Amino acid sequence: MKKLTYIVLVVGVMMVAGCARTVTQIAPSGAEMVVQVTTRGTVEATANRYFLVVGSSSTYYVQLPLPQPGGTRDELLEPGTVPMYGSMEAYYYNYYSTWAGYVIAEPGGYFLGEGPFVFNTPLTREVLSTTAPSGSVFTFTVRLEKLFGANVPDTIYFDVLTVPWVAGAEKLSADHLMMSNYVSKVAGTELTINDDPDLSVPPSLDLNKVVVKIQ
């Protein structure tokens, strides 16, 4: 796994001191999650897919390829998609049931998959934008209530993953951040993750930097 550098700015609880008492002001929760992704090369939305997977706890799981710790040959697919090997039910049990939601960037634009994800239950897929990602930097915004419903957790866990999307081939992730990425739901929180280059990964799939803002 590549070395990651974190730069965190968090707006937290403010204490305002008075003459005779201390007043605690609770920092407001954000309504939106803004994600900016930079890749080493130009994004190829037709040949690849780009995922944001979000969980409400650190125990969510995504399909990571071998030889990474815990890696498998399971494909990184949207819930409801039939895998080349294994059963769809197993995918729900092992992965999708742990996701709060996800965003996928593809040729048609950006799409939100709203959880919870239950086997044999139709997927709710919402259009965020009909403009496909381009260049080496792309940005999208998603409302937190769409990912988590009315009860947005205090800490939002996430991973960003890239997947080569070749017809008739397994859809195995090429790059990702790590499972311990998290950000506070407090408005004004910003997290920057710098990801070292991996020359074994094609430039369009190699993550360089991810910035997450809560606003």
Question: 136-175, pLDDT tens digit by residue?
Answer: 999 999 999 999 999 999 999 999 999 999 999 999 999 9
Which residues have CB under 8 Å from 128's CB, separation 6+? 103, 109, 110, 111, 112, 140, 141, 142
- Its domain, for residue 147, covers 30-184+198-206
Q: Does residue 102 form part of some domain?
A: yes
Residue 25 has pLDDT above 80, yes or no: no
DSSP state, 30?
P
User: Tokens standing for 209?
Assistant: 């930097």
Q: For the chain, what is the domain count?
A: 1
Secondary structure class of 203 (helix, strand, coil): helix
Q: Does residue 25 form part of some domain?
A: no
Sign of CA dihedral 37, 29, 145, 179: positive
Model confidence band, residue 5 (pLDDT cutoffs 50, 70, 90): low
